[in-house]
Amino acid sequence: MGIAGKVEIRSVRKHYTVDGDRLQILSGVTFDVGSGHFLSIVGPSGCGKSTLLRLIVGLDSEYEGDILLNGERIGGPSRARGIVFQDHRLLPWLTLEQNIGLSLENMEWSAQDKAEAVRGQTALVGLSGFENAYPHQLSGGMAQRAAIARALINKPGILLLDEPLGALDAITRIRLQEELLRIWRVEGTTMILVTHDVDEAIFLSNEIVVMSAHPGYISKRFIVDLPSPRDRAGNEFIELKRLILAELHLYRQKAQSDTENWMNMASLI
């Protein structure tokens, strides 16, 4: 069982050079994720939230500042961090079981232990019975569950979620959000979720950081201390959503707009 990791991000700056032009993606991003916490990063597209996740997972090591995992600087991918991408990224030529087992490929476990772990993980994400299915035979939701199982089977201290539910339909998304919450409770892993769905962020996390774009920086940090299970339609939920949307400049008081008032009245008649 992995120990939930603590992540410290210290004035991280990142730029790309495109055709000789310097394109600043992240400008001094700083925040912490406590061990066992569920933190969501919300922001408009282009704010560098996915780039930040790539830095944390270790796919890209060219950046300024520090990203510390349990006090040590990250240098390349490691078993301590698992990631789920927006596309499930299951290998089409491997069965579900083989895809999940791919994480254990160079672990020095006996074949029996590996099979056991795969079985357990498959059950955890509710895919028992589909072990021998190929990815094209799975629905989007099932494929994403399998991707979560693949990321968790190593028992990483930190699970990075890069808009994992972004490509799913609304109903499957809500189901999988509940599933993620359950998995988080069972595994106790530190979770960092990148999303642009504010509801999703509030439903799942202890903490939400809002990012702004061009170049990306943390504009505000929210602590979510709503009781669980969370009521998606409850007043506190809605209130927090209003604050976050306002931070994203996506919310205006209805009263400010005459047109919208007229439309509201029209809908009452």
Partner 1 sequence: MSNLSAAACTVDATETAGKPAAVRSVSLKIGEFTRRFGSPVGLVLPILIVALWQTAASYQWVEPVFLPAPRKVVDAFWLMLTKQDLFFDFLASMNIVGQAFVYGSAAGIGLGTAAGLSRKFEQFLGTTVDTVRHIPGIAWLPLIVLWLGIGAPAKILVIAKSVFFPLFLNTLQGIRSVEKNYIELGQVLLLTRRQMVRKVILPAAMPNIMVSLRYAAGLAWALVVVAEGLSGLEGLGFLIFRAQGLLLTDQLLVCMAIIGLVGFVIDRQMYALQCRILRWQQGFKG
Question: What is the three-class DSSP state of 58?
Answer: coil
CB 38 within 8 A of CB 195: no
Strand extents, DSSP E, 47-200: 64-69, 72-73, 81-84, 158-162, 190-195
Nearer of residues 30 and 78 to partner 1, judged by Cβ: 78
- What part of residues 118-137 is at the interface with partner 1 (CB under 8 A)? 134-136
Shortest CB 54 distance to partner 1, Å: 9
For position 62 contacting partner 1 by CB under 8 A, the verdict is no
Which positions from 193 to 222 touch partner 1 by CB under 8 A, shown as an x/- string?
------------------------------
For position 30 contacting partner 1 by CB under 8 A, the verdict is no
Shortest CB 78 distance to partner 1, Å: 7
Instruction: Label residue 181 left, alpha or beta by phi (over 0 means left) and psi (-120 to 50 means alpha).
Output: alpha
Shortest CB 73 distance to partner 1, Å: 18
Alpha-carbon distance of 189 to 121, in angstroms, equals 14
Nearer of residues 59 and 123 to partner 1, judged by Cβ: 59
Identify the CA nearest to 49 among candidates 173, 208, 202, 212.
Answer: 212
- What part of residues 63-102 is at the interface with partner 1 (CB under 8 A)? 77-79, 82-83, 85, 87, 89, 91-94, 102
Alpha-carbon distance of 5 to 33, in angstroms, equals 9
Residue numbers of the site for partner 1 (CB under 8 A)?
Answer: 57-59, 77-79, 82-83, 85, 87, 89, 91-94, 102-103, 105-106, 134-136, 150
